Structure 1
Amino acid sequence: MPRYLVSVAGNIGVGKTTLTRLLGERLGWKTYYEQVRDNPYLVDFYADMRRWSFSLQVYFFTHRFRMFQDMMAQPCSCIQDRTIYEDLEIFARTLNRQGYLDDRDYANYRALFETMIRFLPTPDLVIYRRASPEFLLKRIRARGRAFERGITLDYLRGLHEAYEDWVARASASMPFLILDAEEYDLEEQGHADRVVELVCERCPEG
């Protein structure tokens, strides 16, 4: 039976964890989730993004690098909630563009990323959950996480632009499946079934 390394990409609040859990349960894949609740920098970051942006990005990158190494060691298919590429291409890039991560720290972080990424394989599939920033802000407000209260529409728009740019560029070097979160509501059984079908078409069991 084929073994796949799959990553779910998408903006804050788009439903990456829900999709990861769904595919893990339905396809029997081992699941890996982004560390949010036990993250020692996240609350401080949203309170003072300029002060904590570099520390947060290094923490996330280190966590995801170790996670992908563990995925590589597994004998079964694995799915990861957020790709390692988003740390640089989406979040560090957007923080730099919006003035929260200065050019010196951004260059340092990029050098670290480009040095370490050589040791990891490209995912067999990246599932990009796409949604408008306005849709995402409503979802973020509805789930009511205290540390996310500082997230603004402008920040989400900056991330969205970075996602669209990255997916357009990266599609030449890695396989993507784009799923519109506003079209596929994973709480609806029919929508969830269709999403599983689409993923199975890209990752056949053989």
Structure 2
Amino acid sequence: MSPRKLGNRPYTVCIEGNIGSGKTTFLSHFKKCENTIVIEEPVELWRDVSGTNLLELMYKDPSRYACTFQSYVQLTMLQLHTRETSHPYKVMERSIYSVRCFIENMKRMNVLQNVEAYLLEKWYDWALENTKVQADLIVYLRTTPEVVYQRMRTRARKEEDCVSLDYLKLMHQIHDEWLYDRTLFSVPSPVITLDADKNLEGMLEEFRVCADKIFNR
């Protein structure tokens, strides 16, 4: 394969999906590719905002902290999108685009005031209009909520203790509306949808097929 860039930027792939859909495991395979930089979600930044675990606060008291948390998420994801690299390929865990899924979820759960949702969406629009953020491909790891709920219980992150199956069902519905049905938001790039309910061996084969499509584009 011959590495190449699109102008002065890398070919950018965003890995999207519900909590527990296997994004981190999927990304680990790309780390073996010398021509690719892998950028994971900055969870550690969200866990330590000037000494405060903002991620945990958001899950425990969303009515109080959802807007604050989402503002910081948008900032950190934008910083990752605009990070310069010499690699011809960039693979990201989620993206600035999927920020809207979580805003939509908060709206449907009524944990945001109307003015908070308005400000978050205006900030999102400004970011896309005034920065050089682009995606060339989205890989949607599509899962059933019951599967990701069991995975989440198994990995036992303390911040996720209060995440319910109903929450995961709503996030699944929003992701499907966005990337599968394509009825919710505009989709910034072509989408490859993978069945991420499979076990590790099955997902390894899905990765191989997906990587071939990416590097041969």
Is this a same-fold pair by TM over 0.5? yes
The share of aligned pairs that are identical, in percent, is: 24
Matched, 1:137 2:139: no
TM-score, with structure 2 as normaliser: 0.85
| Matching residue of 2:68 | 55
Instruction: Indicate which of 9, 27, 44 corresponds to 2:16.
Output: 9
| Matching residue of 1:178 | 193
Distance in structure 2 (CA, Å) of the matches to 1:140 and 1:63: 24
| Matching residue of 1:29 | 36
Comparing 38-47 with 135-144, greater Cα deviation is found at: 38-47
Equivalent runs, 1:1-150 vs 2, <5 Å: 1-3=3-5, 4-26=11-33, 28-39=35-46, 40=49, 41-70=54-83, 73-76=84-87, 77-88=89-100, 90-118=101-129, 119-150=131-162
Q: CA deviation at 1:198?
A: 2.4
Distance in structure 2 (CA, Å) of the matches to 1:171 and 1:115: 16
Q: CA deviation at 1:138?
A: 0.4
Higher helix residue share: 1
Q: Does the 8 Å contact 2:105/2:171 carry over to 1?
A: yes
Instruction: Indicate which of 142, 154, 171 corresponds to 1:159.
Output: 171
Q: Which blocks of at least 5 consecutive residues in structure 1 are unaligned?
A: none
Q: Does the 8 Å contact 1:5/1:124 carry over to 2?
A: yes
Distance in structure 2 (CA, Å) of the matches to 1:172 and 1:36: 25
Find the residue that maps to 1:95 and give its secondary structure. Answer: helix
- The residue type equivalent to 1:150 in the other structure is C
Q: Does the 8 Å contact 1:15/1:129 carry over to 2?
A: yes
Q: Which blocks of at least 5 consecutive residues in structure 2 are unaligned?
A: 6-10
